[in-house]
Chains A and B, each alone.
Chain A
Amino acid sequence: MSTAQPNDGAPLLDVTDLVKHFPVKRGILIDREVGQVRAVDGVSFRVERGETLGLVGESGSGKSTVCRAVVRLIEATSGSIKFEGREIAGLGRRQMRPLRRQMQMIFQDPYASLNPRKRVGQIVGEPLKRQGVASGSELRRQVQELLERVGLSSEHFYRYPHEFSGGQRQRIGIARAISLRPKLVICDEPVSALDVSIQAQIVNLLDDLQDEFGLAYLFVAHDIGVVRHISDRVAVMHEGKIVEQGSVDQVCERPQDEYTKKLLAAVPIPDPRQSRERVRNR
């Protein structure tokens, strides 16, 4: 177990100067490093308890790399990642394990992030079992409760992922992520693969769960409309750097950075008269 006590005054997640460079290699027998992709290039942000930080950017901006580095799926090149005041950037697998209870992830692709050969009950119950929280009939009861909480039915326990639609699969992924009652959930494009009408359902569900369990979200998306809806604060990423960060109102209503302005201006407005207006002013 950890020796350092969590510091209650510290932000839940405090990332400072995070860098991730991927080497570019050439050569047949002997790999030579010929360059580096600076996927994340000095990124700093905080997530406070119970709040949502939206991280928005286009493909290749480095936002997914940030997520993966924070949950330690990949190793950062340098920088500090503090969870409740404790440095986790260099921790080993073993030392990370108790922290995984506090920090969970929801993935973009609801088709790829669930093991097709496992039943829903096993998928959602896996973290509870692994962490030794529950087993046997108690595990089943808890999983069924979770399934109902995310809008599925307790009878879905014995079904396989392929029997569900995209939106339902994302609910399964959410049930798995909240099963350990984490403090932080990292959502990597959780709605971008879904139909618009289903997106609204999932966004509302995430909102409800946040209120109920006091979750904090690091919500990563390329759709600034969704980010604006769900976030308390927003950080805009471009080419590995955060170009602008602030409250939703600051960033979305009074953007300062040129790239943020460009991003906001590119979002289609579902109102024909306003669209025509924009065409005239172009």
Chain B
Amino acid sequence: MSARALLSVRDLRVGFTTEDGLLQAVDGVSFDLRPGEVLAIVGESGSGKSVTAQTMIGLTRARNSRIEGSVELAGEELMSAGDAKMRQLRGERIAMVFQDPMTSFNPVYRIGAQIVEAIRAHRPETSKAEGRARAVELLGAVGIPDPERRVDAYPHEFSGGMRQRAMIAMALALEPEVLIADEPTTALDVTIQAQILRLLEQLNRERNLATILITHDLGVVAEIADRVLVMYAGKVVEQGTLDEIFYDPQHPYTWGLLGSLTRLDQPRPKRLPQIAGSPPSLLDLPQGCPFRPRCPHEFSKCPQYPPLEARLPDAPGHCDRCWLTPEEKGEKRVVAGRIGLEAPNA
């Protein structure tokens, strides 16, 4: 058995009551996160990936939300913790970096002052001078050049990539054990994205930071994740190690995601394999497997939703929710085209 889980999520369910009925955004998600591990949660808009992350740090608590299940951080239950306790945990033990570095900072305060404020909110004994010194140190650690000067800059004086670095610096200010990065590079140019991914990788390695990376981009996942959860319509449809998901994907939705990528390392196909249709409305899910209406391999068992379980004898951690037998999956994957990657020189 590998190291003990730092964060343990069990059967997490998040629903929102709306005018049109109960919207089950997250429907029974479970996973473990170990120290130093990068877990990627992948899915399209509306798959529930962001709501899962936000719920872990108490950001979805509201009058119209219904939250069930358990999230344990080093043995401590977070779902029953009070708001004051959550406020203390956020930043100190679990920190979050958001997608949009343009709107995550307050535009009228200096970058440094906002980092100092975050530190002093948790550690009131810290003097302003100490806080400022710490902010300079953090900005330097995330690769902002000339941090002594840039600490006094306003957010608009930073480029998108720099702002995302500053955001990461602020997230690291209290040395959290878990970092949740929600689409941290989606708003950035590819060359800047590559730099931010390097930075996340380095932090993960040097600080043994457990990271949850939320993204729709499997290219990003391939670069830094250790394990992957694929979500669809609020449920995990496949989970496994990075190599299991990329080289032996079991769920037709995962095949679709992998197939629809444009790849610079391969000859151009005449047509891009596409997933037909669009994700279902969470207020009006089809009976059984919610991917059924878009799946080219639908058959008589699909009106029942299969449990998430390991279906391959030699990969106990590789689970999926599809009734097809592993043999059938192997065949259908080949017919579907480039899906189920051939590893180079393997």
Contact = CB atoms under 8 A, between A and B. Distances in A.
Interface of A: 58-59, 165-168, 195-201, 203-204, 207, 222-226, 228-229, 248, 252, 262-275, 277
Given A199-B260, A271-B265, A274-B222, 12 more contacts: A58-B192, A59-B160, A195-B45, A200-B273, A203-B272, A207-B271, A222-B189, A248-B268, A267-B264, A268-B223, A270-B219, A274-B265
Contact of A268 (B220, B242, B247, B256): B220
A269 B219 contact: yes
A270 B221 contact: yes
Contacts, number: 120
Nearest to B44: A195
Interface stretch (B21-29, B164-172, B306-314, B338-346): B338-346
Interface string B270-282: 0111111011000
Given A196-B261, A270-B258, A229 B221 contact: no
Nearest to B253: A197
Interface in B156-198: 160, 189-194, 197
B100 interface: no
B222 A272 contact: yes
A167 B218 CA distance: 19
Given A196-B217, A204-B274, A58 B264 contact: no
Contacts of A272: 222, 242-243, 246-247
A262 B194 CA distance: 11
B304 interface: no
A262 B259 CA distance: 25
Given A200-B260, A225-B264, A268 B219 contact: yes
Contacts of A273: 243, 343-344, 346
Contact of B256 (A197, A204, A248, A252): A197
A213 B257 CA distance: 30
A166 B262 CA distance: 20
A197 B44 contact: yes
Interface in B270-296: 271-276, 278-279
B217 A200 contact: no
A228 B222 contact: no
Given A197-B44, A198-B278, A266-B194, A274 B344 contact: yes
A167 B278 CA distance: 8
A201 B274 contact: yes
Given A223-B262, A264-B264, A196 B218 contact: yes
Interface of B: 44-45, 160, 189-194, 197, 216-223, 242-243, 246-247, 256-265, 268, 271-276, 278-279, 341, 343-344, 346
A144 to B, nearest CB: 21
A267 B273 contact: no
7 contacts: A58-B192, A165-B279, A195-B44, A195-B216, A198-B44, A266-B194, A268-B220
B193 A269 contact: no
Contact of B272 (A204, A264, A265): A204
A183 to B, nearest CB: 24
A195 to B, nearest CB: 4
B209 to A, nearest CB: 18
The 4 lowest CB-CB distance pairs between A and B, nearest first, are A268-B219, A225-B262, A200-B260, A200-B274
Nearest to A262: B191
Contacts of A223: 190, 262
A229 B216 CA distance: 20
A18 to B, nearest CB: 23
A246 to B, nearest CB: 16
B198 to A, nearest CB: 9
A228 B274 contact: no
Query: A197, A199, A248, A262 — which one has the most chain B CB atoms within 10 A of its CB?
Result: A197
B246 A229 contact: no
A24 B194 CA distance: 32
Nearest to A229: B262
A264 B341 CA distance: 21
Contacts of B221: 270
B219 A267 contact: yes
Contacts of B344: 271, 273-274, 277
